[in-house]
Every structure is written in structure tokens, then in C-alpha cells.
Amino acid sequence: MYCPLLFFIVLHGIFLVCAYNGWSSLKSIPRKTIQYEDNNVITFKEEGVWNYSTMLIREDLGLLVLGAREAIYTLDINDISVAKSKVLWKVTEEKQKECTSKGKHPDIDCRNYVRMLHQMNDSVMYMCGTNAFSPTCDYITYGDGQLKLEGKQEDGRGKCPFDPFQRSSSVMVDQDLYSATSLNFLGSEPVILRTSPISLRTVFKSSWLNEPNFIYMDVVPESEDSPEGDDDKVYMFFSENAVEYDFYNKLVVSRVARVCKGDMGGQRTLQRKWTSFLKARLDCSVPEPSLPYIIQDVFHVRHKKWRKSVFYAVFTSQSSSTDRSSAVCAYDVTDISEVFSRGKFKTEVTVEMSDVKWVTYNGELPVPRPGACINNAARSSGIMRSLDLPDKTLQFIRDRPLMDDAVRPITGKPLLLKSGPLLTRLVVDHVTASDGQSYPVMFVGTENGYVQKAVNYDGEIHIIKEVKLFQNAEPIDVLRLHQNQLYAGSASGVVQMPVSNCNRYSSCLDCVLARDPYCAWDVPAQRCSRVPTSPEDGKSNLIQSLKDGDATRCPTIAPMEPKIRSLVLGNNIRLLCYPDSNLAQVNWNFAGKPLPYSDRKYTIYNVGILIYNASAADAGRYTCTSVEWVKGRDYTQTLAIYDLREQSAVVVTDKIKATLGILPESHTTSSGLHKSEEPPWHSKTVSSESKWIVMQVALAMLSVMMACLLIWNLYMGHISPFMCCGRQLIKSPRNLPEREYMHTGNDAVDSKQQMVRLCVTTNSALEATSFHGNTTKGDTPTDVCVFKYITDESEI
């Protein structure tokens, strides 16, 4: 017999450890929060036009080409509020009626959403739109400051999705279009297609693509400096239902796949199909046990040497609606290539009394290796192109495109892991700081319209700031990065913002503790400035500490002059204090002593305090300070000093209004705050802080309850200090079984004060039927027992 109490204690300890570790790994709070009213960004939107979700940067023309619903714009790349030209691309009434007749919404689905924009040459661009569930492509040109729609419409099936809200991806490589989308109206025929003189596509088999959600696609020039004479590769990222796992429900996993640029298909087997298509699971494991995280977006950080290129990817949890967390993982191109070129394959096997299973293939591989590009070794064997590949190799890859190994992230774990609103898109910029090192800075968009700027310093997640770009809480659908400018698109508009705005850091302490690779404190200029790009250009006069957050070099600040405020007896008085950081703790002192937080006379919030019904005793000096902890150091700075002095002449009207509770609009609301001065991020920060406080209090209370329960059980004799489980060695009236206790007579309890058990039985269980033959079906016997002492035998 096991002791349930000890089991519960052990479970409680495990819960304590897991709760602390889980919370600490996800409670990444942005150091600064910039609200929509203060973001100082450049915006573009046009009345009646929605879904600005496709962007093409034309650096040669100085333009941002923007695709929206039934419209294409060219915007000044330096100031997107300046629209150079516009072209409308609407659906015809006939197409809209045809779409509506198929059960689609006329004003939502049956429109033309521009979903693809690619540059063909200096003057011509290629674009595709959903065209009321009838995908269509066309050419546009830009000349003399004007966009022109060529009107050379082409079938867009396989290039652009039918559904405007279905994910797809594409890339233009040497005038050949590689696209990943659906081939039919229902979206049930996924395809990875190359539109070229020799067009190729994937095979319609679940082992190739199983209800995929396409995310991203790009080319890697692996033929450059390749001793093996390898070919360039096109990599694609998507999620799909896993075929290799045997579950009752569908399990979604993330994938990376690749094809060779020079692939021409097979001669007999895999005609007009990819002979080089391989795919592998993409792993982004989080510390807590969970279902695989699902890929949402990818950014390719290109390098002059392609082997140093890195793919950054955003993942979100799929466990449940309550477990809302996101992660960012980074993958080395060479690690992905290694899995495809040297890894083992998975194969299908038939198991009795079961479905098909996928296991590791340990047999002999055909030569040339299935899925490999044509290289020097193949050419030496007389195989000059994929059309020359033997059927044995082609049949193998047709049936086994899945690799056994998964692609692991560079660091073995996520670079960024956080809970809260899900991440949607990301871009990554490499910045050279004052120490000469290059740091990848991640800009990630969220589902509620924020962009977060984050860095990973040797495993430490640091979110520098978050900026709300859109007034409404809408997802960011597209992010682009170009020459220190960030462009974000959503359903309602487009935003342009600089990657750095060092002027927002008000002091040396604020600038250094921000740990922003773009910014450093300029000692001679006494301001936070952008770190120069040249190697030694004035960096000796800069104070910056990214990994350590060491601000001890900052010059001493002159003492702050107090602000004199009048104290009107009976009034409510508000004293403001704005901290530089969400991570700082704000403290108030009155007359040199800490202000009591529990005193009902005060309301203390993140941007100040409110003194209720001021009296003469409230006059004096109030000091607001903030304490921020960084790498074991605490930095304290004075934010505000107020001298509250009693007003000699009291304004009678104000006092009467205060007495009657009638305050003018410039005073406070019922909560003690003016509506316009309520800190927008206050509730979110308090919520994040309070969650951890509530968890600590709950765990502390649970620990106390467990200790009390243990002491009570020891005192009552329910458990023994020497033997927790099993039968007790020493029997007492408190721990004797009922029958043994009834036989002890008067030795244990006086005959006139006997303890009896009064039980009332209600019908309901099968075991009770042996005692109550008249138990009816569906009833459940329940014993309700009460122990009591009696002093008279007549009460028995």
C-alpha cells in the first residue's frame, strides 16, 4: 500500500521546480514599450483598400512596390507616405458572380488579392492575384514615374493560391518561377511547382506533401566554390500532417525541403516530376514537454560565403489555446545540407493488424544517391543530367522522400522563447557594435500589431523594446528590412520605422542599460547616438555594454531640483513619475522614509501616486526612484522630486467641490487617474508581474497547507514518523480499525462516554447490493459517517 500523502508531497515539489523554470524561461518582458500614440512612424493607407500583405523592394528605383486588395502601389522607399503611382486590378462582375455561386463571400473572398510580386528585369515585374478564386498572373512595368498593367494575363494555378487567406510561397530564380501553393479550388492538391521551359512539380502522394501550409522559399548558391561540382538548391519551409507518427489525431510538424536548380525530371520514372525532392523535420525544441512547435515565418540571412548563411524561423505552440507561446530558432545552411546529403532515409513497412509504419531504412542505397544533385561523381559515371538517372534511384526517391534525421537549431535551443501574443513574422539585421562584434538583432511582429526588437546574448534573451505600429490589435502580415528601415504591412495599412531611434534613451544609464547594439552613449555630446559603422570612428568616446549591461562608466548626474506643488486641504493630489524601463521597480519616499504601499491613503501605480483627501500631515518632500537589476548589479536613479507645500489661501470653490466629490475634468477619474494619463502598458506589465507574484503566493500557501496536513496526520496518528506506509505497529484509539476499537470496551473510553460511528447509507453501488437486496438500478449507495462522543447509552 502506497502512502498518498508522500506522493502528493513529491508531486508538489516537482510542480514547484517546473513552475519556476517554465515561468522564468517565458517571462521575457520588453524593457521599453512604445505605444501607438508615441511611435513616430511613417504610415500609408488608402481609404477603402485593405490587406497590404505583399511587398517588393526595388532598390534600383528607390521604390517600395506594394500589393494590396485590387490595387498595386509604388511608394517612395525613404518616405512611404509619398505614393508615386497606383494601378487598380479589380475582378470582373462575371468572375465575382461565378465565385459567389460557388458559396464564397462576395465582398471578402471574391476579390482580387495580390499575393505575389517578383522582379523580372529592370523595368518588368511579375505579379499574381487570387482573382475571385480564379488565380491570374500579369506583368506590370514602371516608367516615367508611372505603373502600367500590361494586360497579358496568364493562368495562375500552381503559382498563386485560390484562397486569399491561404499561405503560399514563391521565388524567382533566373527567370524561372518556383512556387508552392494549391492546384485546385478546394485546396486539396498541394504542389511545389517550377514554371520554366521544363516545368516540374511534386507527386500527388501523402508521403511527399500531406496537407501542407507553405511558409517560405529561397535559393542558396551552393555551386559556388563547390569542390564536388554541386548544384544550386532551392529550399522551402512548410508545415504538414506527419505521416511518420502513429497517433489517433493528426500531428502537425515543421519541415524543410529542397530541390536542385538543374533538375529536369526523369526519363521514364518521375517524368516532369522532381527527382531531387527531399524533406526533413525541422526541430525547435522548447524546455517544457509539448507538441512540436509549428513554423510561421522564415528569414534568410545571406552571406557572401553561402556556407555561413543562416535561416531564422518563427514557431508557435500547437498544444492548446491557453498555452500561447512562441519561439525563434536559427539553422545553419550546412547543417540542413548535411542531413540531406549524408542522413538516413525513412521507409514504409507493413505491420500486421496495423497501418503502414515509417521506420529507418538500413538497406543499401542505389547509386547515384537518391535525391542528390548531379555532381562531378555522377558526371564521371556518364550521368550528365537527371534524365540520365537510373530507374532504381528514381523509384527509391519516389517512395522515400523523407529523411530520418531532423534538422537541429544552431544553439540546440531557441534563441527567443516567450509567452503572450503569438509571433507572426520576423526579419534579422546584423549590427556591428562598439566592441567590434556583430550581433543578430531580431525584429519580430506579433498578432496584436507590435514589433519587438530582441537580441540573444550568449543564451540570455533580451527584448530591447516593443513598438505598437497599428492602432487596432491586428496581426502583422509582412515584414521587410532595407537599409536601416523596417517596413510592416497588415490588413489596414503599411508602416515604416527606423531600426534604431537612439534619441529615445534619455540618459546615459537608460542608453547603456538598454543594451541596444545600435546605440551607445556619446560622452562628448552627452547624448545617446547611433554607433558609427566605420571601425574606429569615435568609438573610444562611446559607452556601451551589451552582454554585461555595465553602466558604471556613466558620468555622475547632477542632483535633481525638486518641483514645488501646492497642497490644497481635502483635495486629491497626483504626483507623476515615469520610469525609463518596464524592468525597473519604482519606489516612493516621503520625508526620507518609504511610502507605505498598504496605506489606503495612497494609490501607487507605475506612473505616479495619488494622495486621497490631502491633509496638513501630507506636506513634505516626495522622492520617486527606480531600481533596475542587470547582471547582478542594481542601478538606482532619481526620477522625480516633489515638495508638497500647504497652500496658505484655500480656494473655497475647489474645497467645496472636493468635499462633495465633484472634481473637474482635469482631476482624476473614479480610479484616481485621468483617462488620458492611464499608462497603456501598465495593465500588461502589472499582469505579467502579478502572475508571478500570484504564483509565488499560491505555492507558498500550498506549502503551508501541506505542512499543516502532515503535522495533523502525525498528531492524529494516521501516519507514523517511522513507518509511513502499511499497517501501524502501535495501535491506539486514534488509529485502531473500527472492529478492533469496538472490542476494547472501557479500556479506551469511559463506558458513559463512548465514541460511536453513525452511518447513513444511500443507494447506488454494486457492492451495496449484497446488503440491500432492494437496491434499484442506477442508484448508488453512499456511506455518510459521523464520529461523536455520547454520554448516555440511550443515544446509541
Is residue 583 within 8 Å of residue 628, measured between CB atoms?
Answer: yes
Is residue 12 within 8 Å of residue 699, measured between CB atoms?
Answer: no
How open is the CA angle 459-465-470, to the nearest 5 degrees? 130
Which pLDDT band holds residue 287 (cuts at 50, 70, 90)? confident
How high is the mean pLDDT of the chain?
84
pLDDT given for residue 372 in this prediction: 97
User: When comparing pLDDT for 67 and 794, which is higher?
Assistant: 67
pLDDT given for residue 743 in this prediction: 38
Report percent pLDDT > 90 for the chain: 70
pLDDT given for residue 533 in this prediction: 81
Is residue 324 within 8 Å of residue 419, measured between CB atoms?
Answer: yes
2-11, 156-165, 354-363, 525-534: range with lowest mean pLDDT:
2-11
pLDDT given for residue 323 in this prediction: 73
Q: What is the tens place of the pLDDT at every residue in 381-432?
A: 999 999 999 999 999 999 999 999 999 999 999 999 999 999 999 999 999 9
What amino acid occupies position 133?
A: F
Cell digits of residue 545: 555594454
Tell me how far apart the alpha carbons of residues 406 and 404 are, in angstroms, rounded to a whole number.
7
Which pLDDT band holds residue 1 (cuts at 50, 70, 90)? very low
Q: What is the tens place of the pLDDT at every residue in 586-621?
A: 999 999 999 877 777 888 887 899 999 999 999 999
pLDDT given for residue 222 in this prediction: 97
Q: What is the tens place of the pLDDT at every residue in 491-544?
A: 999 999 999 999 999 999 999 999 999 999 999 999 999 999 875 655 678 999
What amino acid occupies position 559?
A: P
Tell me how far apart the alpha carbons of residues 193 and 199 are, in angstroms, rounded to a whole number.
7
Say which residues have a Cβ less than 8 Å from residue 366's Cβ, sequence separation at least 6. 390, 392, 393, 396
C-alpha distance from residue 8 to each of 143, 459, 718 (Å)? 75, 35, 16
Say which residues have a Cβ less than 8 Å from residue 663's Cβ, sequence separation at least 6. 572, 657
18-22, 27-31, 436-440: range with lowest mean pLDDT:
18-22
- For 703-724, what is the mean pLDDT? 71
704: pLDDT strictly greater than 80 = no
Cell digits of residue 552: 558604471
Strands, sheet with 485-489, edge to edge from the N-terminal-most edge strand: 42-44, 494-498, 485-489, 478-482
Residue 393 sits at φ, ψ, to 5 deg, of -70, -40
Cell digits of residue 466: 516593443
Tell me how far apart the alpha carbons of residues 669 and 610 are, in angstroms, rounded to a whole number.
11
- Return contacts of 106-110, CB within 8 angstroms, 24+ apart: 109/133, 109/163, 109/164
Tell me how far apart the alpha carbons of residues 281 and 602 are, in angstroms, rounded to a whole number.
57
pLDDT given for residue 538 in this prediction: 59
- For 137-151, what is the mean pLDDT? 95
User: When comparing pLDDT for 136 and 290, which is higher?
Assistant: 136
pLDDT given for residue 20 in this prediction: 40
Which pLDDT band holds residue 753 (cuts at 50, 70, 90)? very low
CATH number of 206-419: 2.130.10.10
| Burial zone of 494 (CB within 10 Å; 0-12 exposed, 13-18 middle, 19+ buried) | buried
Q: What secondary structure letter does DSSP report for 402? A: B
Tell me how far apart the alpha carbons of residues 633 and 553 are, in angstroms, rounded to a whole number.
13
Pairing of strands 71-76, 585-590: unpaired
User: When comparing pLDDT for 234 and 23, which is higher?
Assistant: 234
Q: What is the tens place of the pLDDT at every residue in 369-383?
A: 999 999 999 999 999
| Burial zone of 562 (CB within 10 Å; 0-12 exposed, 13-18 middle, 19+ buried) | middle
340: pLDDT strictly greater than 50 = yes
Is residue 429 within 8 Å of residue 500, measured between CB atoms?
Answer: no
Pick from 154, 184, 179: nearest CA to 169: 179
Q: What is the tens place of the pLDDT at every residue in 557-575?
A: 889 999 999 999 999 999 9
Q: What are the extents of the domains in the chain?
A: 1-27+690-727, 52-201, 206-419, 430-543, 563-679, 738-795
Which pLDDT band holds residue 351 (cuts at 50, 70, 90)? confident
Tell me how far apart the alpha carbons of residues 607 and 640 are, in angstroms, rounded to a whole number.
11
Cis previous bond, 366, omega within 30: no
pLDDT given for residue 536 in this prediction: 60
Looking at the chain, the number of H-run helices and the number of E-run strands are 9, 45
Which pLDDT band holds residue 472 (cuts at 50, 70, 90)? very high
pLDDT given for residue 622 in this prediction: 96
CATH number of 563-679: 2.60.40.10
